Amino acid sequence: MSRILVTGSTDGLGRAAADALLSAGHEVVVHARNEQRAAALDELTGRGADLVVGDFADRDAVRRIAAELNAARPLDAVIHNAGVWSGPAVMPVNIVAPYLLTALLRAPRRLVYLSSSSHFGGRPLLTGIDWRGRSAGSYSDSKLFVTTLAAAVARLRPDVLSNAVDPGWVPTRMGGPNAPDDLELGHRTQEWLATGDDPEALTSGGYWYHRHLRRPHRAVHDEEFQDALLEALAQETGEAVT
């Protein structure tokens, strides 16, 4: 059985993934933005899940969480689920936090990054990006960046399985009650990539939708863009992903 961190697991897809992984016998670390939201995880921690708390819009909180996790039993996988749809926290939460965790955690063998079909509308431009969230960021840009991060990590770390997943437009707090996609299918691919042992689940560098590989935005596998994104984030955070 694996030890898996699921970020943003108080509700929605993250909660569903953490619940399913616990039910399958895995050791799960759940994450909440603050102590108030952590109360929603009492049922999962009561079943044995470990808990980390911290606001991913705060880089110091991300660093503290990484240190806590590095001091505990090593992780086998991370599902980078935490995300916000709009506002100043878009870049800090959707790309800076998963980048920092990728740089700081003792390398888990499997990394799953939550993308979106919105990434097709993202711009592969790095000038003028407000990484610190002083103003509202573009959700589409953030998802293009995190999808590119997944591909870059797959290239740079051949011993790590790194993939991006489009969970679909599902009826969560973010997606809204009228979202048309299947909530159950929305989290199953993440769990499969984090723990599965069939040949398809052991591939790396993919962009997945309901266990099917899709072709992402053409910038995702552009190595020059990958390197430029990594360099921009390394300069911004002082941490390098190698």
Catalytic residue numbers?
139, 143
Residue 184, pLDDT score: 67
pLDDT at 157 > cutoff 70:
yes
Query: What pLDDT is stored for residue 9 in this prediction?
Result: 97
pLDDT tens for 131-153 read 999 999 999 999 999 999 999 99
pTM summary value: 0.95
What DSSP character marks residue 12?
Answer: H
Query: pLDDT at residue 172 above 60?
Result: no
Cβ atoms within 10 Å, residue 71: 8
Q: Where are the domains of the chain?
A: 3-237
Q: Is the pLDDT of residue 169 over 90?
A: no
Give the tens place of pLDDT for each residue, 209-233. 999 999 999 999 999 999 999 999 9
Backbone angles phi, psi at 7, to 5 degrees: -80, 155
Rounded-to-integer distance, Cα 43 and Cα 49, Å? 9
Which two tokens mark 129?
A: 């990006």
DSSP 93: I
The backbone torsions φ and ψ at residue 122, rounded to the nearest 5 degrees and listed phi first, read -75, 155
**pLDDT score recorded for residue 132:** 97
Neighbours of 227 (CB within 10 A): 13
Can you name the CATH fold of 3-237? Rossmann fold (3.40.50)
